[in-house]
Amino acid sequence: GDSVTQMEGPVTLSEEACLTINCTYTATGYPSLFWYVQYPGEGLQLLLKATKADDKGSNKGFEATYRKETTSFHLEKGSVQVSDSAVYFCALSGASGGYNKLIFGAGTRLAVHP
Amino acid sequence: DAGVTQSPTHLIKTRGQQVTLRCSPKSGHDTVSWYQQALGQGPQFIFQYYEEEERQRGNFPDRFSGHQFPNYSSELNVNALLLGDSALYLCASSRLDRNTGELFFGEGSRLTVL
């Protein structure tokens, strides 16, 4: 079945360091890919998305490129801030389950220190 | 504009009991999905409701049931609770005619089964 695998955390970085969180997927068809973020005490919220191969999603300095050849959607940021500390989830939809059903990875916790 | 609201935020039950969780979707949304997020894991899809009917269901037993009301709000019911049902239960809403995969999540109801 469809699945998402992302790197285990926690990831601990100093402020202004570069971030990469790896995400790979297995899916039939042509899924859309997402990064959701869960800040402490808040609900999951969409960070960015890409709907077809080679699309780049970007938001708040984060970006990720839909790579069909490597079935990957890695999240990157050039300079992280303390406020980026959160749990990040890679997800897909639109494969075998319809577009409004998301399949999530296990999440990667990011801690950024001053 | 109120987002997705869930109640209660926390609750404790004992094995064998039954629980009902409630969700009000974001204004303008007609589709409600429920997810279970175990500690340290990503959310897992339970089911989705539209027009008061269950449209899709994940790999959860019949002990998990739901309902959607004419005002689009929804309930999740779990019968014969097991220790393994302890988790954060997330409600997410969307518009079926905007089949983009972007869901809006509530902050969740944390269920502890003793």
| Mean pLDDT across chain B | 94
State mean pLDDT over B40-61: 93
Taking a C-beta distance cutoff of 8 angstroms, is the pair A107, A8 a contact?
A: no
Dihedral angle over CA of A57, A90, A4, B30, nearest 10: -90
State mean pLDDT over B2-6: 90
Nearest by CB to B99, from A97, A100, A102: name it: A100
Looking at beta carbons, which residues of chain B come within 8 Å of A103? Answer: 45
- Per-residue confidence band for A97, with pLDDT thresholds at 50, 70 and 90: low
Residue B65, number of CB atoms within 10 A of its CB: 16
State mean pLDDT over B88-114: 89
State mean pLDDT over A68-89: 97
pLDDT the model gives residue A58: 97
Please give the residue that has the higher pLDDT: either B100 or A111.
A111
Q: Which two tokens stand for residue A44?
A: 């999951």
Beta bridge partners of A89: A36
Nearest by CB to B103, from A41, A102, A106: name it: A102
The continuous run of DSSP H or E covering A93 comes out as strand A86-93
pLDDT the model gives residue A114: 94
Looking at beta carbons, which residues of chain A come within 8 Å of B31? Answer: 100
Looking at beta carbons, which residues of chain B come within 8 Å of A52? Answer: none
Q: Does A62 touch chain B (CB under 8 A)?
A: no
Cα distances from A75 to residues A16, A79, B3, B76, in angstroms, run 16, 13, 26, 33
Q: How many angstroms away from the CA of A100 is the closest CA of chain B? A: 5
φ, ψ for residue B113 (rounded to 5)?
-110, 120
| Mean pLDDT across chain A | 92
pLDDT the model gives residue A93: 87
Nearest by CB to A94, from B92, B101, B107: name it: B101
pLDDT the model gives residue A1: 82
State mean pLDDT over B37-53: 94
Cβ of B99 within 8 Å of Cβ of A43? The answer is no
pLDDT the model gives residue A96: 57
Evaluate if residue A30 carries a pLDDT over 90. no
Nearest by CB to A43, from B31, B100, B108: name it: B108
Please give the residue that has the higher pLDDT: either A45 or B101.
A45
Cβ of A32 within 8 Å of Cβ of B100? The answer is yes
State mean pLDDT over A36-44: 91
Q: How many angstroms away from the CA of B57 is the closest CA of chain A? A: 10
pLDDT the model gives residue B50: 92
Q: How many angstroms away from the CA of B104 is the closest CA of chain A? A: 7
